[in-house]
């Protein structure tokens, strides 16, 4: 059977095939950039119309008491099962950057007398920038190490380690359970960045005894461009979580408007300022696509899509070098290095013009995200075909 | 002429009367809480439909290059003229709380060797909480003083003063030009919180040589619940603005994805994480109501509404005590203290049930916002009438 026919057959048998109809996507587009910006669930537009027209216009200020104020915790509890967290430990709001700052400063305060912050040396940039800033303010030193060396490097000097679950360039899936356990043995806390795994790879924060985690909701959770991020604080730290963005929304009794800050009980104290309701309720609607599907199902499809894509690439695009692990120690993307680094960005533009949308990351990497809720086997077949055609021009 | 007739005549002559049609407001509701949550401009719903359906769904990831990435600065430049700022000094994003943190930490770094942060002792709570947090991280002491004493208290020990332009409870308008000048004489920097003045009271940040300012956009700018806040950095500080939330969006070359942070040129370095596009473009649409109206016009109407409301209160609701200045040293609200403090919250609920919506602030204050773009003289007449009725029950 040809790979083209095989793609058709795989799509026909795909138990998730029907989910694509829940997204507003041009059928002619092969959208392989859900690792950067998830596609729009159809429910979002409808919800926004309701939030603006009925809640904001209709109820005006009263809507704050009628669901808006509690939305960050309520929606956090919808994200929680996707990352293996029991209720009450996840809150939605602010950006990943801002939540990283909260988590890192709180972590070093909880682990005093340890001068070092370990940082995944392949981290997405913002994590490193924020680690440097937090270290500067709290008198710590940031030490950049490869994730696979963290277990050896962690010591009684380590306050906290900040680790990306999935490497955003290569797609490598790091060993969250193992690294967390090794750090814990050294008495270090962990902050995991789940941006590239949430909604694509099963995560078991509670079971792995992770201390803190952050993640964005605009990739595999499809919350919309720049939608609110989330922050996980393990139950055991909730009472002592001492974060620096002590906004009124995290106060124990915000509407008492007292002069001194007193952090609220539970995850509320991870909140900062007034929550951004339009974006937050757009995310709420986007999360409805998870009502009848599990992360395990999406993971299985993502791996199958990747395996098939790799076969297509091997068969048809021999010039590109796959930088993502071929075994299943990968997240939910396949990254390939283009033979001529200087041309890689142009190649992605050409692919996009041909209706195959991925993205480019320096210096020479083309990334293809495999969002199982809407990517078809035919899409990855087509991507490999177009890559082959471009490599022959 | 009765006050009722006078209200009718004032509305008939009001040059801004036509603006109300640009808002999605029930004609039977007297909405006097625009100082807490502005009413929805009709343009917002339409814009969101376009952003979700055409930009996100239609262009997908490409939209980041087609306007999304630059939106924080572009929309900042739309807010700028409303606060007397030349272009390039205002950026939109994050919450007021988060922007206060950026501004305060940057300010004390710019003014080293001065151990004290002065804080407006009537501040909205979040400002004080953030001042305390910033002080803790940077080794400063927060000193709470009444705004009218700041000029006397400022000294060579003062790094920065954080002052609210309008007192959120009483509605007192503080002397921004005078306080700023006095602080500058003492070598102190200023951070002004414009939440209750932007879009209601003329502000001249450049002319007054204010150093930094923050403000929200969900009150008199009608951006929507929790819409992105703004941050002003005076041109002279742009190159040295050294803020702690060093996210990738503030980087000089964010998509180069380099390991070390280098703040971008201009106001870009005040950005932190990925901007929240749905809310930001909702705000963009909301700002269209300013295309044919000036803050001076809105200010004139807000004062006239207040003057008329005070006359109505004096004539009909003698039990309440007006706590907002009767002269024009006030912002854009009238606050009254209810004779029985314990009943004040209930009174506001009853007013709301009768279609007059203001809000309550502890311990006994009822606030009535006077958003000139949609509040009618008939609304304030009605509010006074209902207050009278309630005071007689």
pLDDT tens profile B1-48: 999 999 999 999 999 999 999 999 999 999 999 999 999 999 999 999
Please give the distance of CA B86 from its chain centroid, rounded to a whole number: 19
Extract the tokens encoding B145: 């003083």
Inspect the interface and report whether the beta carbons of A257 and B362 lie closer than 8 Å: yes
B225 with A56: CB under 8 angstroms? yes
pLDDT at B56 over 80: yes
pLDDT 10s digits, B313-367: 999 877 889 999 999 999 999 999 999 989 999 999 999 999 999 999 989 999 9
Residue A350's pLDDT is 96
Residues 263-322 of B with CB under 8 A from A: 272-280, 282
Residue B319's pLDDT is 81
Fold that domain B3-31+293-392 belongs to in CATH: 3.90.1150
B171/B176 Cα distance (integer angstroms): 14
Inspect the interface and report whether the beta carbons of A95 and B48 lie closer than 8 Å: no
pLDDT at A264 over 90: yes
B29, B247, B279: residue with CB nearest A126: B247
Q: Which residue in the list B31, B101, B212, B218 is annotated as catalytic?
A: B218
Extract the tokens encoding A302: 């993502």
A257/B328 Cα distance (integer angstroms): 26
How close does chain A come to B296, measured CA to CA in Å? 26
B100 with B126: CB under 8 angstroms? yes
Q: CA-CA-CA-CA torsion for B174, B177, B180, B184, nearest 10 degrees? A: -160
> Considering the domain B47-290, what is its CATH architecture?
3-Layer(aba) Sandwich (3.40)
Residues 180-239 of B with CB under 8 A from A: 216, 218, 224-229
pLDDT band at A326 (very low <50, low <70, confident <90, very high): very high
pLDDT at A393 over 80: no
Residue B151's pLDDT is 96
A153/A145 Cα distance (integer angstroms): 8
pLDDT at B68 over 90: yes
Inspect the interface and report whether the beta carbons of A137 and B132 lie closer than 8 Å: no
Closest CA to B199 of B294, B288, B127: B294
CA separation, residue A40 to residues A141, A363, A381, B197 (Å) = 41, 29, 23, 37
The answer to whether the peptide bond before residue B25 is cis (omega within 30 degrees of 0) is no
% of chain A surpassing 90 pLDDT: 97
Say whether B248 counts as a known binding-site residue.
yes
User: Domain limits of chain A?
Assistant: 3-31+293-391, 47-290
Inspect the interface and report whether the beta carbons of A98 and B97 lie closer than 8 Å: no
pLDDT band at B392 (very low <50, low <70, confident <90, very high): confident
A305 with A372: CB under 8 angstroms? yes
pLDDT at B295 over 80: yes
Residue B92's pLDDT is 98
Closest CA to B285 of B71, B86, B35: B71
pLDDT at A360 over 90: yes
Name, in order, each residue with C-beta under 8 angstroms of A60's C-beta and a sequence gap of 6 or more.
Answer: B29, B31, B33, B37, B39, B357
In chain A, % helix, strand, coil (3-state, to 5) comes to 45, 15, 40
Residues 170-189 of A with CB under 8 A from B: none
What average pLDDT does the segment B376-386 reach?
Answer: 97
> Considering the domain A3-31+293-391, what is its CATH architecture?
Alpha-Beta Complex (3.90)
How close does chain A come to B278, measured CA to CA in Å? 6
The answer to whether the peptide bond before residue A363 is cis (omega within 30 degrees of 0) is yes
pLDDT 10s digits, A210-238: 999 999 999 999 999 999 999 999 999 99
């Amino acid at each position: 059977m040809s790979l083209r026919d095989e793609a058709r057959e795989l799509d026909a048998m795909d138990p998730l095939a029907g989910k694509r109809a829940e997204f507003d996507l041009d059928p002619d587009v092969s959208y392989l950039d859900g690792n950067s910006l998830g596609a729009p669930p159809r429910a979002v537009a409808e919800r926004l119309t309701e939030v603006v027209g009925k809640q904001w216009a209709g109820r005006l200020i009263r809507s704050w008491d009628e669901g808006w104020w509690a939305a960050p915790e309520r929606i956090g509890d919808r994200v929680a099962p996707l990352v293996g967290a029991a209720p009450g430990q996840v809150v939605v709001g602010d950006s990943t950057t801002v939540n990283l700052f909260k988590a890192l400063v709180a972590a070093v305060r909880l682990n005093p007398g340890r001068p070092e912050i370990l940082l995944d040396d392949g981290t997405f940039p913002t994590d490193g920038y924020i680690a440097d800033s937090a270290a500067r303010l709290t008198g710590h030193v940031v030490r950049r190490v490869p994730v696979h060396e963290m277990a050896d490097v962690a010591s009684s000097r380590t306050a906290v380690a900040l680790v990306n679950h999935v490497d955003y360039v290569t797609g490598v899936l790091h060993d969250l359970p193992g690294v967390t356990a090794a750090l814990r043995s050294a008495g270090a806390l962990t902050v995991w960045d789940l941006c590239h795994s949430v909604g694509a790879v099963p995560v078991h924060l509670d079971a792995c005894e992770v201390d803190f985690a952050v993640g964005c909701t605009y990739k595999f959770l499809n919350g919309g461009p720049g939608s609110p991020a989330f922050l996980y604080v393990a139950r055991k730290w909730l009472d002592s979580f001492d974060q620096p963005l002590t906004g009124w929304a995290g106060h124990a009794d915000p509407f008492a408007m007292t002069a001194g800050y007193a952090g609220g009980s539970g995850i509320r104290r991870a909140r900062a300022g007034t929550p951004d309701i339009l974006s937050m309720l757009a995310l709420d609607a986007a999360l409805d696509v998870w009502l009848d599907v599990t992360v395990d199902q999406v993971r299985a499809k993502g791996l199958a899509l990747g395996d098939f894509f790799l076969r297509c690439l091997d068969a048809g695009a021999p010039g590109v070098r796959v930088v993502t692990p071929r075994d299943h120690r990968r997240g939910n993307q396949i990254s390939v290095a283009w033979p001529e680094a200087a041309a890689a960005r142009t190649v992605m533009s050409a692919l996009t013009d041909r209706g195959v949308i991925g993205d480019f990351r320096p210096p020479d990497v083309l990334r293809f995200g495999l969002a199982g809720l809407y990517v078809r086997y035919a899409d990855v077949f087509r991507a490999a075909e177009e890559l082959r055609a471009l490599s022959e021009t």
